[in-house]
Amino acid sequence: MYPYFQKHTTLHAAESTGVDPIRTFLSQNPAFGTLIFQVTGGQGAFPVAGATITLTKQLNDSQRLSFTITTDESGRTPPLSLPAPSRELSQRPGNGIVFAAYQAEISAPNHVTTEIRDLPVFDGITTIQPVSLSPDIGGTRQNEVENIEDKEPDL
């Protein structure tokens, strides 16, 4: 049911303390949500093929999950299934955070890199995340990064 995460991700990490941050994260996030990126340029006028998206989830001070995926000729990524808390938590008030927050870095040749922080993923929900990259004609903005911070959803 969640082929990308299960087939294309090697899950192994442990700290010297014996605590396995990946197993802890997966036990807290037993469900999955789906994320698709739609990357465009020219303020949405044309798709950006070959854009690289690196999606990360910080697990603790020293370890994180990381996924890298590339857009196709239409500027879209394949669906990426990601761990998320169970939707059951959202059925009762006061159960805390009901989504998993990820960070994304989107880059493409001749475009300014864009970072998105706190990108929410919900159990059973497919999210299409639009990203409009700014042009970098002549390489004058090579070291620039545009930051987008998603606000915590008002649930």
Q: How far is CA 5 from CA 2, 10, 69, 73, 79, in A?
A: 6, 9, 12, 23, 10
For residue 10, the model assigns a pLDDT of 44
Residue 39 has pLDDT above 80, yes or no: yes
pLDDT tens-digit profile of 52-108?
999 999 988 888 889 899 999 999 999 999 999 998 877 777 777 789 999 999 999
Nearest to 132 by CA among 69, 75, 59, 93: 75
For residue 69, the model assigns a pLDDT of 95
Q: Which residue did the predictor score with more confidence, 23 or 89?
A: 23
| pLDDT > 90: percent of the chain | 48
For residue 3, the model assigns a pLDDT of 41
